[in-house]
Amino acid sequence: MKEDQPRSAPNDAMKRESRKVQRYAVQLPCILASSEERSDGTVLDLSAQGCAVTAEQLPSVATHVSLQINLLHDEAPADIELAAVRWVSGHRCGIEFIKVSPDMLVKLKAFVLLLEETP
């Protein structure tokens, strides 16, 4: 039987189905810090609830981290007080935001809205 579309791996399908909100492709400088280390990285995709990050040194799955994301060049970074690493693959990891101050949440949502409106 011939298939028109390539099949994705079960893990890929589950990740897509479990995504609760749309993430937007970006390349934003960030600082990722855990209790053991701190490293510079790049946010690859972003929503108001989480992101994917690439960096040379990544924390392990389930590690709690803080994150500073430079959303716009002329503004202070968005500070994510508490987040959890949900997956790690190579030099990429998925991060779920757990604790974000109300001001930072407004800043993140406004930035995501800007991404939604950009063609």
Least confident of 5-9, 18-22, 30-34: 5-9
How far apart CA 115 and CA 5 sit, in angstroms, is 29
Compute CA distances 28 → 4, 8, 9, 41, 73, whole Å: 36, 28, 29, 8, 10
Instruction: Please give the domain boundaries of the chain with CATH numbers for all domains.
Output: 22-113 (2.40.10.220)
Give per-residue pLDDT as tens, 55-66. Answer: 989 999 999 999
pTM here is: 0.81
Compute the residue count for the chain.
119
Max Cα–Cα distance, the chain, nearest Å: 56
Distance of CA 25 to the CA centre of its chain: 10
Mean pLDDT score, 74-89: 95
How many C-alpha atoms does 59 have within 13 Å on its Cβ side? 24
